Amino acid sequence: MNVLLEKFLFPKELEAALNNSPSVIVPETKEMLYELIFGNKSTNRIEVSYEIDGDLIKEADVVRCKNGAVVNYTEDYMRRRDPDCMRISDDMPTDKPRFKDVYGYDFKSVKKETFQWLAQQELILVPFMAGGARYGYEAILVCPRNAAFFAFALSQLQAFVNAKSVDKFKPKAIIYVAPPFRHTHFEGKQVCVHNRMKDRHEIFSYNLYPGPSAKKGIYSVLLDIGEREGWITAHASAAKIITPYENEMVMMHEGASGGGKSELLQDVQRAADGRVLIGTNIETGEKNYINMSDTCTIHPVTDDMAICHPSFQKDSRKLCLYDGEDGWFLRVDGIDEYGCDPMYERITIHSKEPLVFFNVEGVPKATCLVWEHTLDSDGKPCPNPRVIVPRKMVDNIVSDPVEVDVRSFGVRMPPTTAENPDYGIMGLMQIIPPALAWLWRLVAPRGFKNPSISGNAPLASEGVGSYWPFATGLKVKQANLLLEQIINSPNTRYVLIPNQHIGIYRIGFAAEWISREYLARRGGVNMKMDRLVPARCPLFGYTLKEMKVDGQHIRSKFLHPESQETLGTEGYDKGAEILYNFFAKELECYDVEELHPVGKQILQCFKNNGSIEDYCAIIPLGLS
């Protein structure tokens, strides 16, 4: 038996499995864990396979490149997160599907089989701190030795712990990985079963894509702890933005997957001649540019999981946050050729330590290039190529808690015209009061062509906070926590920012970059009301009368989409109707007795087709 196991306090079922396992490896360093992926230094390619009913089923190919391990799954389905993979096995309050209700039998039998299977495997046990080394919670991963790439990925995402440095390490979270059960019990689906107890949160991962378990599973753990203790881990990126004149602003960007969180941390993308492309008319091909000389310096804080613990709160009455991860699971579909994102290209190509790549082409002993995306079976590039980048490698990284000046919310918008009306009618930046900010976070539109998950819908909700897919508890309780957080941070301001399209114009993430530059130069949403006009659709709050960035005016058709000839007020109003119907449908579930009293006022305001002034009367905008 590995003597390092004596440093842990395990539940009895796990202890029994470890005692019966042929071998248990507890890596003392991440370097040691990386070498376990390939077994020995002469091996540069492995197949991760499992025997199922006499057949050998291959789950993934893993290649050793100069800059790390490259993982490619056999099935297209396994290359992105299935949004319907969470099952709850305990009896604690939840709005998520319970295992017994879905499958018609109790999880206890599968749990017993899982431990029996693990006891027959050579195992890797990885201790880590869920939520980061400074403020995190003791946790462990248990997985089969031939899935060492999965364990290495987890060690990159969360704060790896050397077992020699601990004593009486009692995990508050445990991830068990048993890949064959995907085929033997769950018809090939990415099932992750959550079992919550008073003293720990167990996750049974029956697949080898880290998205639902090593990544979002730990997010579930933090949300579960927060729901019990009264705080939130926001689904957000955040950065300290420093202007060319050395003014500072902290901006936090939320939204469903694909909503622009990673893009907040990117430099403004420029055309070959240095200009910034705002948008391209998809019918005529007309391109609209602005010139920008000096742009802001980005000091990243978080990429996806922002712990908003009350202990961070300061006297400024602004929201405070801290990164809940040690590494970032970056989607690199936007890097499709050299030069798209110089910082991450440099980090991943010239990495000082091995990285792990997913859904990217890998050639043994060669350098893995993040713009060479794996082709799906239909011959098209996989829309979800990923790389895990340790945050310590990111330029200008901020490691202390920060106070948020501006809290933005990104929405993927479809192309929209009067002839083909849709909901893509949001202007380049909308200033909204806290009450509306809360509503947008309740409905959290997944939006147009989300690249991160399998399946697609014209307009669907990611759920409360846009983190609902990862939460295990109650929607209304999360809605209340989110509202209390907003009420308790009156000096943090709110904006909406579209991406992909504004009406007829394809914009990508230009609106986000331009808004970031504009807000930073103004010290945040720090402006007089006489600079604003109510948006035609009250759900969008206020629109700037005009917007000038680096001395240049943004054309009105980007600020006020209804001024576009191909959209007009009629097309705009049809899009607004689509949004209102969507909001009405998604807000129904929150209209219950348990909702916060202020929340009830906001919902009633929505039902009454309230004006922007009505929303401001509930919770003030805070501008003069």
Mean pLDDT confidence for 93-118: 97
The Cα–Cα gap between 5 and 133 comes to: 21
Would you say 17 and 115 are in contact if contact means Cβ atoms under 8 Å apart? yes
The Cα–Cα gap between 573 and 558 comes to: 16
pLDDT digits (tens, 9 = 90+) for 410-431: 999 999 999 999 999 999 999 9
Domain-embedded: residue 611: yes
Identify whether residues 194 and 122 lie together within a single domain. Answer: yes
Domain-embedded: residue 21: yes
Identify whether residues 194 and 286 lie together within a single domain. Answer: no
Domain that holds residue 146: 3-229
Sorted by sequence, the CB contacts under 8 Å of residue 234 that are 6+ apart come out as 252, 254, 305, 306, 308, 321, 465, 467
Sorted by sequence, the CB contacts under 8 Å of residue 324 that are 6+ apart come out as 131, 132, 136, 219, 222, 233, 302, 305, 306, 307
The Cα–Cα gap between 509 and 139 comes to: 36
Side chain identity at 413, as an amino acid letter? Answer: M
Domain-embedded: residue 13: yes
Residues 400-425: b if buried by 16+ CB within 10 A, e if exposed: ebbbbbbbbbbbbbbbbbbeebbbbb
pLDDT for position 451: 55
- Mean pLDDT for all residues in the chain: 94
Domain-embedded: residue 398: no
Domain of 560, CATH number, reads: 3.90.228.20
Would you say 582 and 443 are in contact if contact means Cβ atoms under 8 Å apart? yes
Identify whether residues 163 and 290 lie together within a single domain. Answer: no
**Burial category of 305 from C-beta neighbours within 10 Å (exposed 0-12, middle 13-18, buried 19 and up):** buried
pLDDT digits (tens, 9 = 90+) for 293-349: 889 999 999 999 999 998 887 878 999 999 999 999 998 988 999 988 889 999 999
Q: Indicate the pLDDT class of residue 454, thresholds 50, 70 and 90.
A: very low
Domain-embedded: residue 461: yes
Identify whether residues 434 and 543 lie together within a single domain. Answer: yes
Would the pTM count as exceeding 0.85? yes
Identify whether residues 187 and 288 lie together within a single domain. Answer: no
Q: Indicate the pLDDT class of residue 623, thresholds 50, 70 and 90.
A: confident
Domain-embedded: residue 24: yes
Percentage helix, strand, coil, to 5, in the chain?
Answer: 30, 25, 40
Identify whether residues 273 and 148 lie together within a single domain. Answer: no
Mean pLDDT confidence for 149-174: 96
Does the pLDDT value for residue 463 go beyond 80? yes
The proportion of the chain whose per-residue pLDDT surpasses 70, expressed as a percent, equals 98
pLDDT digits (tens, 9 = 90+) for 435-451: 999 999 999 998 777 65
Identify whether residues 176 and 283 lie together within a single domain. Answer: no
Q: How far is CA 613 from CA 363, 534, 562, in A?
A: 59, 9, 21
Identify whether residues 278 and 220 lie together within a single domain. Answer: no
The proportion of the chain whose per-residue pLDDT surpasses 90, expressed as a percent, equals 85
Domain-embedded: residue 310: no
Identify whether residues 216 and 276 lie together within a single domain. Answer: no
Mean pLDDT confidence for 387-415: 96
Does the pLDDT value for residue 387 go beyond 90? yes
Mean pLDDT confidence for 444-464: 72
What is the domain count for the chain?
A: 2
Q: Who wins on pLDDT, 246 or 561?
A: 561
Structure tokens given for 62: 């893993």
Domain of 188, CATH number, reads: 3.40.449
Identify whether residues 292 and 154 lie together within a single domain. Answer: no
Structure tokens given for 49: 């396979």
Does the pLDDT value for residue 524 go beyond 70? yes
Identify whether residues 223 and 276 lie together within a single domain. Answer: no
Residues shown for the chain: 624
Identify whether residues 286 and 203 lie together within a single domain. Answer: no
pLDDT digits (tens, 9 = 90+) for 525-541: 888 898 999 999 999 99
pLDDT for position 525: 85
Domain-embedded: residue 188: yes
